[in-house]
Structure 1
């Protein structure tokens, strides 16, 4: 599979699942393929063309699996080096000869349990689906349901995620006890609460845990700009000037995250930084506008 002729996105995604499953099996590494075509086959998502292969890797072999992926010519996409403020939960790969990406997960947003524990819970009861003439390991039906629900809630402002969430809401939970057990085991009760309450009632859990600051941040960060604005508001005032400077003029890797072909010449960087400044101003104005609206609404309610 090192040399691949022109592939369609559909072919690329299926064959990538097969390739990764082969690498994991041959090297005795546990992996689970999440979202993607697997959940379509499980009946949890309507037909949708995925553009990447999402694979959740057992934490103790995460780095070893990435080495295997890279040995097949896959290259890491740039990521924000500011891991302290923006910790990553996955590594994204692209390949010059493949149309799709690989999203290699070391954890899953919304799952607050220890990564090893969470993976073991997901692995327990896992199943397989047939894809590209190979058995592909995927989470159980209820575990996949949870992943999709949390993923949709994290990005509910997006049209596709909202449509998928509505589809999930229309499905019956086959095994409610197993579903709640998985939610508890991976520490996803707080993140999945809206879905659980909608399907089973808010009183199904006697004491709901509070969402983590990281999850609250992910819900507030509807765009990269809003995410940075949210973090800036929590930054000690002594560090604000340096933080603002870095957000407006970040390392080149940040500019390349969404577009590998970003012009990184001095003129290209100047244009990119100007665009970020304009975007930051729009985000700031939008945020202030929303705060003013909420303040007015709150005052109106207090006058009633």
Structure 2
């Protein structure tokens, strides 16, 4: 007689949807002749550059000229582009997030990457030092180790107001403690990341006071010095010409519906839904007003 256990057998493990999606988007890019590099996600995991966790999306980098073509091809396969924030001064566009009703993860298609500010663009230098790994029985191009480190560093620094990203930066510093920092400095210089990645690089080795880090772009300083949207908008309003200030104020208070649609998977919002989101926006803005006013008061003493 067979003795039955009172506990049912464990269900088979469900594959990580981002791994399947990574293989699928790389296959699609190869089919249409688009060069594509998978960044963050499985690349960081492959090199052990971050604590283990399941990614919420698939991040890929393509050449600027191929960006529209890949998005169009994804569109023919049922993928939709999430609207971006219409205030592109406060939220400069660097990628397009694509979602599909039948997939549990987005594809974030980058044509540039904040913190990597090389004048000639970053795709070609990263492509030149790419390597290949296998994912879902599909060859996948990922950045070389040093490039993956630089991407991870500027990503964590950009969001260092978040505890999780501070922990990721600490993890990356420990992971790179035995590496030759000279190689990281040289590559950071080539990718235009010396100034943005400075908080990471300085922790690996003490530098003489006169070391020339260069200067990060105004966009990078805006992203890292003012994490709250109200702070960014206040700073940009202060810097704007008088005739532009009314437009910026109107966009902050009465943005188009796409500013709210981007937070959902819906294609449109009804009048009641839209009204509710405007009210919540104004309420958040009122709570953040003291911080915004503090930014305006300090702007005379702070470098823009």
TM-score for both structures, normalised by structure 2: 0.86
Give SS of 1:199's match: coil
Whether 1:272 aligns to 2:277 is yes
Indicate which of 51, 57, 61 corresponds to 2:62. Answer: 57
What is residue 39 of structure 1 aligned with on the other side?
Answer: 44
Give SS of 2:98's match: strand
* Partners of 1:154 and 1:88 in 2: CA distance: 15
- 1:51-130 equivalences under 5 Å are 51-83=56-88, 86-114=91-119, 116=121, 118-130=122-134
Instruction: Please list every run of 5 or more consecutive structure 1 residues that lacks an aligned counterpart in the other structure.
Output: 1-7, 299-304
What is residue 138 of structure 1 aligned with on the other side?
Answer: 142
CA separation of 1:174 and 1:25: change in aligned 2, threshold 3 A: farther
* Partners of 2:284 and 2:114 in 1: CA distance: 26
The CA deviation string for residues 50-108 of structure 1, in whole angstroms up to 9 with x for no partner, is 01000000223222222222222111001123445543000000000000001000000
1:191 Cα offset (Å): 0.3
* Partners of 1:63 and 1:192 in 2: CA distance: 29
Aligned residue pair count: 287
* Partners of 1:278 and 1:10 in 2: CA distance: 41
- Answer whether contact 1:10 1:50 (CA < 8 A) is retained: no
- 1:1-304 equivalences under 5 Å are 11-83=16-88, 86-114=91-119, 116=121, 118-171=122-175, 172-203=177-208, 206-261=211-266, 264-288=269-293
TM-score for both structures, normalised by structure 1: 0.86
* Partners of 2:230 and 2:295 in 1: CA distance: 15
1:270 Cα offset (Å): 2.2
Instruction: Please list every run of 5 or more consecutive structure 2 residues that lacks an aligned counterpart in the other structure.
Output: 1-12
CA separation of 1:262 and 1:93: change in aligned 2, threshold 3 A: closer
* Partners of 2:165 and 2:62 in 1: CA distance: 24
Superposed CA RMSD: 2.6
CA separation of 1:275 and 1:262: change in aligned 2, threshold 3 A: farther
- Answer whether contact 1:197 1:204 (CA < 8 A) is retained: no
- Answer whether contact 1:45 1:167 (CA < 8 A) is retained: yes
1:232 Cα offset (Å): 1.9
Give SS of 1:190's match: coil
CA separation of 1:250 and 1:226: change in aligned 2, threshold 3 A: same
CA separation of 1:9 and 1:39: change in aligned 2, threshold 3 A: farther
* Partners of 2:229 and 2:143 in 1: CA distance: 30
* Partners of 1:131 and 1:184 in 2: CA distance: 31
